[in-house]
A and B are shown apart, each in its own frame.
Chain A
């Protein structure tokens, strides 16, 4: 194995207002290696990549490309220096042909020679075994092929370093294999590949080395062959620091006293999770454990009908109901705090008050608006209860901090008095103090008889809050843990080994 170092990042630091995204991170890429960059949400993977490609400017540290320090101002700069990036969302033009997508924006010539371009493209496609015609419209290629064409473009631009940012997240097994074959081909040509993915199996299938980041810090660099899967999982999840000695978990009710609050059979949605069965009891807090992309979010979205529900039966308190839209789920007493606060949670320009009363208002109906006074009272009650720090109720929610925005959304759902509340990553990207507050609140609500589903990337947090964990891997439920079985070791083993 050649071990010539082509890229070295040293002591990289980056802070955003209020958040320390990266702290003293080192990263080394060698010639002809596939290097997996691993970490949960907020670990700093994408920040690191964006600093490397010149999207962000680093606060401290240096980048050495072939031993020479570089500082890119834009992705185009990085590309010129031989660092190509292929994103999860393909940055190609679907209305152009395959060949055009490989060559557009590169030549300074005033006219295009289609013949020459197609011939060149054909040659590259053949050499990389990509199943596409140069004259084909890109939109008619599968996502995998589009992905490969993006890679081919980067390779043809003589990239010595290729960054693949979650290229496999929307591919099926067959397509992944094709992509891997292409990656190995490039590896043989001496291209260094930085591979970012959430699929652990894929990391072990293809990578030579693994660098793990957590909370913006470097955990370590390992030879893939020498790092057992379970250790990787534990390194990624880590142990969150917090002062929660005062918290006590809700004991699960005895088997004969349990009353199912929500039951689903064979539930499936268009977002692509294998049909699953699921039950939650009154006063229970359960969680979906699994890495990002394991299908944990897709499952709860199916429960709330946030994605198009394609099948399955649902019972609320034993009675069969039909949930096909978020509104019908809300009417059944289900609340859902989405994972992506910015694009699905807050309505950023609306005031804190309107954001808090939104769900209640919709439930009451179009013709029964709360009076301004009532709305202010409701909002105020929860602003005080949850200690939401806002200058006033009329402040647009976008000017609040992340933690306070999240509390406002939580208030939105509490105001509807749901019988079953789904919280998907409620503690993501918020300060430790607020995290603990939210965890305590969840336990308190369960004590009052509410059923809750709590999802988090931090395993500690889930173990602290949930009395039962449903473990998912690769969009499938692989097992369930509760009682004394519910330990960090068991969860990680299950995720790593797939329930065996």
Chain B
């Protein structure tokens, strides 16, 4: 019995953490390169804040999608729902019948409706998520173009006041050529982003739903055997993603101030790419929620770099495609390495490669 006293192994980095760290390093590297090459703009904090200021909606969409992906699903309707919400809210505000709170409720309602539909069809009727959310995307786009075709500026004073509100950070900023200190500015949408990041990160780490979702994404069969209500968990993940897309639409309207057909187009693809770059495995169950905004930052930094370089904007898409490719291959390699180490353990002892005695002990 003495010999069987457990010798505790050192805790190895989990796959989620490993991918998150890799994503973090890549972002820092990218930003460092950006600072070195274009110190003029990237050294200013405002540039960093502008990522959030101008792309708040995109960040929010990415967060919602991240939840669904961790649960092993996909939702490609998020961009279209976001676009639909901007137009619907703009119409409501312009019609004079609704105030800001009404618009916010409308945004949440539309998001919720799409989320409920997707969740029910995918979780309970077991239809492929890709096809269902594709239809959701069609539906949202169709409704958007049906609502109003021309760009619609929101002129309601209360809303204009809200959207032009800026939060200044007095202790952070730059001094311009005239020696005047310009503090950094943050738009109200960024607050929503930060709030959601904190809220969702807490949810994914500490709530029962969050942990169940990881289990479901990791292995649906096992999750059921462990007593988790798999269908309900998947259902909730889509509802949450829909709601988040609704919020993102409202934030988008706060950023641009206008409903437009093109709003939110290709958001879903950018969000998927950002998730992959943030170390969230598309096969589900692996990834840190904080990786989603990190991946988005990486994507935006690259795009900004390319824009600063003055080359065609088309290169942005190509480079982000290329990066996506690298990340997918990287994840694939990590996955296969993990599988292989498992496989070796299943072999009888005489087939195992014989490591030196010291290593063998360490391995145990």
Contacts and interface: CB of A to CB of B under 8 A. Distances in A.
Interface of A: 75-76, 79, 90-97, 100-101, 104-107, 109-112, 114, 125-126, 129-133, 135-137, 139-143, 170, 172-174, 177-178, 181, 268, 270, 272, 274, 310, 475
Interface string B32-59: 0000000000000000000000000000
B4 A104 contact: no
B192 interface: no
B143 interface: no
B313 interface: no
B313 to A, nearest CB: 38
Contacts of A96: 211, 214-215, 218
Interface in B189-218: 206-209, 211-212, 214-215, 217-218
Contacts of B221: 91
Interface of B: 1, 4-12, 14-16, 206-209, 211-212, 214-215, 217-219, 221-223, 225-228, 285-286, 338, 342-343, 345-352, 364
Contact of A181 (B1, B10, B208): B1
A272 B12 contact: no
A141 B10 CA distance: 11
A112 B7 contact: no
A272 B6 contact: no
A111 B205 CA distance: 9
B7 to A, nearest CB: 6
23 contacts: A75-B225, A76-B227, A79-B227, A93-B222, A95-B15, A95-B214, A104-B211, A104-B227, A131-B6, A131-B7, A131-B8, A132-B8, A133-B8, A133-B11, A136-B11, A137-B12, A139-B342, A140-B11, A140-B12, A143-B345, A270-B343, A272-B347, A272-B351
Given A75-B225, A131-B7, A136 B12 contact: yes
A110 B212 CA distance: 11
A90 to B, nearest CB: 8
A483 B229 CA distance: 60
Contacts of B342: 139, 143
A95 to B, nearest CB: 4
A100 B223 CA distance: 12
A260 to B, nearest CB: 27
B15 A143 contact: no
B351 to A, nearest CB: 6
A462 B226 CA distance: 42
Nearest to B347: A272
Contact of A92 (B7, B15, B226, B285): B226
A475 B225 contact: no
Contact of A174 (B15, B215, B349): B349
Contact of A112 (B207, B227, B343, B348): B207
Contacts of A135: 11
Q: Which 6 pairs from chain A and chain B are nearest by CB?
A: A105-B227, A95-B218, A131-B6, A137-B14, A91-B225, A105-B226
Contact of B208 (A95, A111, A130): A111
A95 B217 contact: yes
Contacts of A101: 226
B206 A114 contact: yes
B212 A105 contact: yes
B337 to A, nearest CB: 11
Contacts of B351: 268, 272, 310
Contacts of A90: 222
B349 A172 contact: yes
Contacts of B227: 76, 79, 104-106
Given A76-B227, A142-B345, A272-B351, A93 B218 contact: yes
A85 B234 CA distance: 26
Contacts of B1: 181
Given A105-B226, A140-B12, 7 more contacts: A76-B227, A92-B226, A94-B219, A112-B208, A112-B211, A131-B6, A131-B7
A135 B164 CA distance: 47
B12 A111 contact: no
Contacts of A95: 14-16, 214-215, 217-219, 285-286
A487 to B, nearest CB: 30
A104 B208 CA distance: 8
B205 to A, nearest CB: 8
Nearest to B352: A172
B214 A93 contact: yes
A26 B352 CA distance: 42
A139 B208 contact: no
Given A107-B208, A111-B207, A91 B6 contact: no
B346 A170 contact: yes
A475 B285 CA distance: 36
A474 to B, nearest CB: 9
Contacts of B217: 95
B131 to A, nearest CB: 21
Contacts of A133: 8-11
Contacts of A139: 14-15, 338, 342
Contact of A93 (B10, B16, B285): B285
A181 B3 CA distance: 11
Nearest to B70: A95
Nearest to A95: B218
A133 B364 CA distance: 13
A333 B118 CA distance: 53
Given A111-B207, A130-B6, A143-B346, A91 B14 contact: no
A157 to B, nearest CB: 10
Nearest to A178: B4
A136 B14 CA distance: 7
A93 B8 contact: no
Contacts of B345: 142-143, 170
